[in-house]
Every structure is written in structure tokens, then in C-alpha cells.
Amino acid sequence: MLSKSRIAQRVVESILNRQLRPGERLGEQELADLFEVSRTLVREALMQLQARGFVEVRPRSGWYVVEPSFEEARETYAARRVIEPGMLRDAGKPLQAVIRKLRQHVADERKAIATADAGERSVMLADFHVCLAECLGNRFLTSAMVDLSARTTLVSALYQSTAAAQESNDDHAQIVAALAKGDTGRAEELMRAHIDTLAARLDASLARRGNPKDRLRAALAPREG
């Protein structure tokens, strides 16, 4: 029988894979039937995820995958801007085995981008940051990056287009190249710029969406002629 932690992990993995979307309902009984466990265990797993900010409970309605607000989206990237460059600052010169693994990951990202599978592309690009934390050997940062990557996936599903995937892949390749040279200062600088670019796309996305009242006015305004 699955533990509540494993059930929670499966839900996070589904978020990373974009199989679960922001605002999607998570029925306790449906999950209990799927995992062949009690509703009590499912509820405990969902409460664990609620504490981590992935799901929410709505009165008289049930459990749902969270839909991050624009401000929460910005805060997610602000947290990453603090954590990830600092992680690289203390990296030293990674072993060649680590560099090979990171280069392989970047190559796998390119393959995913070429297939035009939005879900796989999103997973691979987000997982680079988890892979980087794993390779640098800090399990606490790895756990934090899993959570931040999942929340970033929710954010991108709501606020970002997938048009800039290749740019992100190129950024990752440059970060790995700097690490291979032992230039952690450059890697840190590149990571900060990469995260700033991702955060800036949130503003661009909001500008494209425009004000909801303006969109409604434009849609329903009387037409001439």
C-alpha cells in the first residue's frame, strides 16, 4: 500500500508532467480508488501538499490544484533568485561525472524541444534545476528545488508561453559550461540572469492578457456599420 508521502509525491510528479493543471479538482474518493487506499490516507496526503502550497481546499467543494496569483508567481521566482545562485556560489569545480550528467540533461532538453511535446519540454526544463541541486550533493536544496520546480510549472501553465523554451535550454548550456571551467562566479551570474528573464516573461504575459475589464469592453462594445 502506498504511503501518504508517496501519494503526495505522485501528485507533485503529475504537476511537473502537466498532467494535473492549475484549478483541477482532486476528488478524495477518486484518488482513494486510484491508489487503492483509504480516503483518510488520501486526505492526509492532500493536507501535506496543502502545507507545501500545491493544493487548496475550497469550502463545500473539495480539493483543487492551486492557481497561483500573479504576485505568488513573482514570489516564486524571487525565491529561486536567492536560492539557485547561492547554490552555485558554493559549488567549487564539480567532478567530470557531474558535468557529463548535466550536459546529458541539456542534450535531453533539446530532444524534448524538438518533439514539440509541451509537457515533456516543460518537465525537462524544470528538472534541470533539480538535477543541478542533486549533482551538487545537497539533499535539502534538492527537496526545495522539487517544490519550486513544481510551483514554477503551475506558474508557467497560467502565465507563460512555451515559445522561449530554446532560450532556456541555451541558458542551461551556458551555466554548465561555466561550471565545467570552474568559474562559479560566471555560473552564478548566468543563473541570476536566467531567472530574471523567466520572471520578466511574467510581466510580458500579463501585458498580453491586458486588463480583464478592458478585454470585456472590447469584446462587447457596439460595432460600427
Q: Do 81 and 51 lie in a common domain?
A: no
Give residue-wise pLDDT tens across range 138-177.
788 888 888 888 888 788 777 766 567 889 999 999 999 9
User: What pLDDT is attached to residue 224?
Assistant: 45
pTM above 0.85, yes or no: no
Question: For the chain, what is the domain count?
Answer: 2
Which residues have CB under 8 Å from 68's CB, separation 6+?
A: 22, 76, 151, 154, 155, 158
- The three cell numbers locating residue 102: 548535466
- Position with higher pLDDT, 155 vs 178: 178
Mean pLDDT of 123-138: 88
Torsion of CA 32, 150, 20, 124, to 10 degrees: -120
d(CA 165, CA 115): 12
Q: Do 17 and 38 lie in a common domain?
A: yes
Check which CATH number belongs to the domain holding 19 and give it. Answer: 1.10.10.10
